């Protein structure tokens, strides 16, 4: 049985620890399923990325969509990170923390007029626009408010990120951004967008990208556009790289942030502007686990099933795009034989699985297992399907832990329903 561990989640005396705390000590208080995060992972990863870019003027903006727990956002904000939000709800969350509006970017392909108005009222750093009609709407809302809207166009460079189709965003066939030629035209139409100040240019080619080459191709293409706009007399203050740095879920061969920086900094220095970057998954994925308890084990013909109390409502990534998360026991029992089993949840769907055909030690009713690399796009995508309560979130800091979101109650779920 293969074990996935790190200096943040590791085994000692056959028990899994998060930092300095045995995970079963946490579960004794919280129950399962439960998301558990390592604060040290978040801090170390942010610092590693930030320091790799120290030779250029830059700002890291944490992409809130990957994990929007307030304590997680605050951890990054306290380190000096800005935040990238994708909706009114995410903006509400970060404003609740009192984050400086000039450290907030509003993204999203389908912003409503109300979201645009709220962004302008909040005086955010910028709004990223993704279509001509959106530019028109931003201009109209800003005109009605008698303000100038700071805007960057998200330009689609039509570069293949070599990632899963569902998380590819930089191809012409994807819904995101504006193509290069159209964007160039819009940037220069000052008379059409009189209440917009174009402050920069933005790109984002996808998520979970495991080679640096797609970034280089896209940045070279976008840098050419940036310099042409500069030659045409447009002053742009920043160049936004987006996110997408891949992480290791299984045996992926990824690049280091040093390799990333070394490849891009020579191109970026030519632009003579501030560089923005918007990581999410990279800063959170391997900083979290989802713990679950075995309810039953069974066999249908020759197929083994381990049925746990966490399902697709808690972690939907395996179900919607066959995402791999390593699964392993909370406690190693050397005397147990290994089996090949599907690890499945309690939800009434055949697509409710956490992992298929996994080599894992036999587990008995009442045992615990953990789903690794669950710090990103786990809780943010959780639901109440089958009227199941969303799990708690726990943040570990050294030898202390805090429940930073309690398990939902049924009253939470029903609070606004009438009959």
pLDDT one-digit tens code per residue, 209-236: 889 998 999 899 999 999 999 999 999 9
CATH topology of domain 107-279: TIM Barrel (3.20.20)
Buried b (16+ CB within 10 A) or exposed e, 247-256: bbbeeeebbe
Q: Where are the domains of the chain?
A: 9-38+285-414, 107-279
What's the distance, CA 193 to chain centroid? 32
CA dihedral sign, ordered 135, 138, 140, 142: negative
For the chain, the average pLDDT equals 93
pLDDT one-digit tens code per residue, 100-146: 999 999 999 999 999 999 999 999 999 999 999 999 999 999 999 99
Asked if residue 174 has pLDDT above 90, the reply is no
CA dihedral sign, ordered 216, 222, 225, 231: negative
Q: Where are the beta strands (DSSP E) in 58-99?
A: 58-63, 82-85
Active site residue ranges: 348
pLDDT one-digit tens code per residue, 309-363: 999 999 999 999 899 999 999 999 998 999 999 999 999 999 999 999 999 999 9
pLDDT one-digit tens code per residue, 17-33: 999 999 999 999 999 99
Asked if residue 167 has pLDDT above 70, the reply is no
Asked if residue 164 has pLDDT above 80, the reply is no
Distance CA 285, CA 383 (A): 19
pLDDT one-digit tens code per residue, 264-284: 999 999 999 999 999 999 999
Torsions phi, psi for 90 (to 5 deg): -70, -35
CB hemisphere CA count around 27 (13 angstroms): 23
CB proximity list for 193: less than 8 A, separation 6 or greater? 135, 136, 139, 151, 186
Asked, as a colleague might, if the bond just before 235 is cis with ω within 30 of 0, I would say no
Q: Which CATH superfamily is domain 9-38+285-414 in?
A: Lyase, Ornithine Decarboxylase; Chain A, domain 1 (2.40.37.10)
Distance CA 314, CA 177 (A): 30
Residues 155, 223 contacting (CB under 8 angstroms): no
Q: Where are the beta strands (DSSP E) in 203-332?
A: 238-240, 274-277, 288-300, 303-308, 327-329
Asked if residue 147 has pLDDT above 60, the reply is yes
User: Token pair of 210, please?
Assistant: 């495991």
Asked if residue 166 has pLDDT above 50, the reply is no
Residues 229, 201 contacting (CB under 8 angstroms): yes
* pLDDT level of residue 173 (50, 70, 90 thresholds): low
- Residue 69 is predicted with a pLDDT of 98
Count CB neighbours of 37 within 10 A. Answer: 29
């Amino acid at each position: 049985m293969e074990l996935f561990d790190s200096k943040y989640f590791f085994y000692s005396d056959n028990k899994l620890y998060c930092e300095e705390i045995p995970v079963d000590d946490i579960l004794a208080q919280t129950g399962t399923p439960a998301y558990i995060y390592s604060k040290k992972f978040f801090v170390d990863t942010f610092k590693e990325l930030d320091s790799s870019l120290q030779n250029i003027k830059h700002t890291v903006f944490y992409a809130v969509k990957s994990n929007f727990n307030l304590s997680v956002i605050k951890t990054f904000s306290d380190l000096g990170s800005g935040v990238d939000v994708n909706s009114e709800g995410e903006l509400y969350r970060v404003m609740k923390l009192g984050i400086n509006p000039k450290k907030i970017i509003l993204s999203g392909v389908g912003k409503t007029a109300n979201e645009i108005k709220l962004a302008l009222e909040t005086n955010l750093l910028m709004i990223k626009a993704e279509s001509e009609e959106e530019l028109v709407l931003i201009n109209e809302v800003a005109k009605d408010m008698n303000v100038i809207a700071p805007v960057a166009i998200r330009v689609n460079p039509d570069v293949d990120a070599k990632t899963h189709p569902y998380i590819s965003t930089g191809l012409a066939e994807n819904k995101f951004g504006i193509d290069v030629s159209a964007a160039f035209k819009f940037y220069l139409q000052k008379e059409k967008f009189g209440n917009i100040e174009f402050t920069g240019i933005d790109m984002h080619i996808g998520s979970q990208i495991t080679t640096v080459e797609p970034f280089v191709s896209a940045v070279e293409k976008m840098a050419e556009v940036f310099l042409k706009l500069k030659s045409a007399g447009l002053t742009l203050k920043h160049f936004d790289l987006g996110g997408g740095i891949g992480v290791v879920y299984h045996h992926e061969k990824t690049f280091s942030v040093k390799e990333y920086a070394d490849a891009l900094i020579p191109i970026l220095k030519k632009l003579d502007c501030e560089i923005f970057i918007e990581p999410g998954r990279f800063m959170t994925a391997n900083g979290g686990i989802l713990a679950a308890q075995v309810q039953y084990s069974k066999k249908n013909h020759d197929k083994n099933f381990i049925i746990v109390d966490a399902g697709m409502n808690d972690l939907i990534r395996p179900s919607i795009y066959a995402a791999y998360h390593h699964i392993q026991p909370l406690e190693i029992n050397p005397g147990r034989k290994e089996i090949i089993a599907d690890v499945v949840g309690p939800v009434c769907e055949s697509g409710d699985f956490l992992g298929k055909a996994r080599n894992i030690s036999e587990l008995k009713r009442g045992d615990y297992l953990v789903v690794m690399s669950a710090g990103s796009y786990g809780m943010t995508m959780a639901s109440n399907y089958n009227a199941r309560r969303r799990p708690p979130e726990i943040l570990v800091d050294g030898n202390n832990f805090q429940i930073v979101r309690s398990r939902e109650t049924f009253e939470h779920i029903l609070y606004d329903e009438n009959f």
